[in-house]
Amino acid sequence: MFGFLKKKEPVQLNEMLYAVTTGNLIPISEVNDPVFSQKMMGDGFAIIPESGDIYSPIVGEVLSVFQTKHAVGMKMANGLEILLHMGIDTVELNGEPFDIKVSEGAKVTHETLIAKVDLEAITVAGKAIDMVVVITNMDNVKNFKLSKTGAVVAGVEVGIAEA
Q: How far is Cα 122 from Cα 89, in angstroms, rounded to an integer?
A: 10
Please state, as a whole number, how many other Cβ atoms lie within 10 Å of the Cβ of residue 18: 21
**Whole-number Cα distances in Å, 148 to 24, 25, 44:** 10, 8, 12
**Whole-number Cα distances in Å, 82 to 50, 111, 123, 143, 150:** 22, 16, 25, 15, 21
Residues tagged active-site? 85
Please state, as a whole number, how many other Cβ atoms lie within 10 Å of the Cβ of residue 123: 13
For the chain, report the end-to-end CA distance as a whole number of angstroms.
35
Entry field: residues in the chain: 163
